[in-house]
Amino acid sequence: MTQVRKRRPPATPKQAAACCGPLDDLLDPVLFKAFSDPTRVALIACIAKCGRGCSVGEIAECCSVDFSVVSRHLALLARSGVLEATKDGRTVFYRVRYSELCRSLRSLADALDECCPAKGGASNGKCC
Amino acid sequence: MTQVRKRRPPATPKQAAACCGPLDDLLDPVLFKAFSDPTRVALIACIAKCGRGCSVGEIAECCSVDFSVVSRHLALLARSGVLEATKDGRTVFYRVRYSELCRSLRSLADALDECCPAKGGASNGKCC
DNA sequence: TGCGTACTTGCGTCATAGTGCAAGTATTGG
DNA sequence: CCAATACTTGCACTATGACGCAAGTACGCA
């Protein structure tokens, strides 16, 4: 019978870098860049806790920076997939893309677990 | 009898910003800044997939930037809680803090769910 | 059609951050 | 004790990004 050979974790970091796994796609700098600025994080928290679509004007009342700055941050957050923009007349509503965001975060956590030797992850071949 | 009044989600973003919930702590810009640079992300993926503690020299072979740059990135990643450094003689080993990282990511996902109206989150009062 | 509201975009400024080189520090082995 | 190894740190340069102001665009309403 053919034995199912368990894939080993890469012996060196260089080998690890060469073999692509789920981590490489999930560790997206563009997504996490969205969460790397205090002002943006405040905006995200604000909209997330509100639980509904919010207009730019409403959101701008939450923080002390200029209206134009808020507008730019929101556009960036929409581009990076954190928020979703819908336009109604001249008002733009931004809402949090809860499910997509949660899925990304949990997938990343899962992918990390797959690599973790302590959890038997690294020897199951799913890491890369 | 006293009725257990379900807390409503904040009516406006400004109100939402004022009430502190789990999100405010979990949305940590310092942590996510670690994941916001392509070079750093490559280093993290490299070490994570390797599944063991890696020396700075080994890690530096993975990417094209200068050795000193790698050293600085690794130090930053350790400061922000992504990596853990242990010194053995003159060699420093960096390893991924899998469990802490996964916990942070999953907690954030959970906190977001608590805010999501579609999942009945926003009306349970746990959001803020 | 003109005006006000809601938002976006261009531009200049300033601060922060990434990078490479070179020098410095710690540790090991001869 | 000296030299080599492994890494860190100082310094200068450049790039990127956050910010505010002002001008521009889009839309609704009278």
Query: Per-residue pLDDT tens for B51-68?
Result: 999 999 999 999 999 999
Identify the top-confidence range among A2-11, B1-10, B72-81.
B72-81
Give the separation between CA B124 and CA A38, rounded to whole angstroms: 27
Q: Measured between alpha carbons, how far is A45 from B34 in angstroms, rounded to an integer? A: 19
> Could you give the residue ranges of the DSSP H alpha helices within chain A?
13-18, 22-26, 29-34, 38-50, 56-60, 67-79, 98-115
Q: What is the SS3 assignment for chain B?
A: CCCCCCCCCCCCHHHHHHCCCHHHHHCCHHHHHHCCCHHHHHHHHHHHHHCCCEEHHHHHCCCCCCHHHHHHHHHHHHHCCCEEEEEECCEEEEEECHHHHHHHHHHHHHHHHHHCHHHCCCCCCCCC
Q: Which residue has better confidence, B117 or B109?
A: B109
pLDDT at B4 over 60: no
Q: What pLDDT, on the 0 to 100 scale, is given for residue B128?
A: 76
Cα dihedral: B50, B51, B52, B54 (round 10): 30
Q: What is the pLDDT of residues A70-115, one digit of tens each?
A: 999 999 999 999 999 999 999 999 999 999 999 999 999 999 999 9
Q: In what order do the strands lie in the sheet with A83-88?
A: A54-55, A91-96, A83-88
Q: Residue B53 falls within a domain, yes or no?
A: yes
Contact B61, A10 (CB under 8 A): no
CB A60 within 8 A of CB A70: yes
Enclosing domain of residue A35: 23-114
B64 touches chain A (CB under 8 A): no
Q: Is residue A30 part of a domain?
A: yes
Examine residue B124 and state whether it is found in any structural domain, yes or no: no
Residue-wise pLDDT for A2-12, tens only, equals 554 556 778 89
Residue of higher predicted confidence among B2 and A106: A106
Q: Is A31 inside a domain boundary?
A: yes
Number of domains in chain A: 1
Q: Is the pLDDT of residue B25 over 80?
A: yes
**CA of residue A5 to C1' of nucleotide C16, angstroms:** 49
The answer to the question of residue B126 being in a domain is: no
Give pLDDT, residue B1.
54
Query: What's the pLDDT score for residue A127?
Result: 81
B76 Cβ under 8 Å from any chain A Cβ: no
Judge whether B26 lies within some domain: yes
State whether residue A96 sits within 8 Å of chain B by CB: yes
Please report whether residue B72 resides in a domain. yes
Nucleotides of C strand lying within 7 Å of any protein CB atom: 4-10, 17-23, 26-28
Residue A35, burial from CB neighbour count under 10 angstroms (0-12, 13-18, 19+): buried
CATH number for B113: 1.10.10.10
Render pLDDT for A31-75 as a digit per residue (tens, 0 to 9): 999 999 999 999 999 999 999 999 999 999 999 999 999 999 999
Residue B98 lies in a domain: yes
Answer yes or no: are the C-beta atoms of A46 and B13 closer than 8 Å.
Answer: yes
Q: Cβ contacts (< 8 Å) between A35 and chain B: which residues?
A: 27, 29, 32, 36
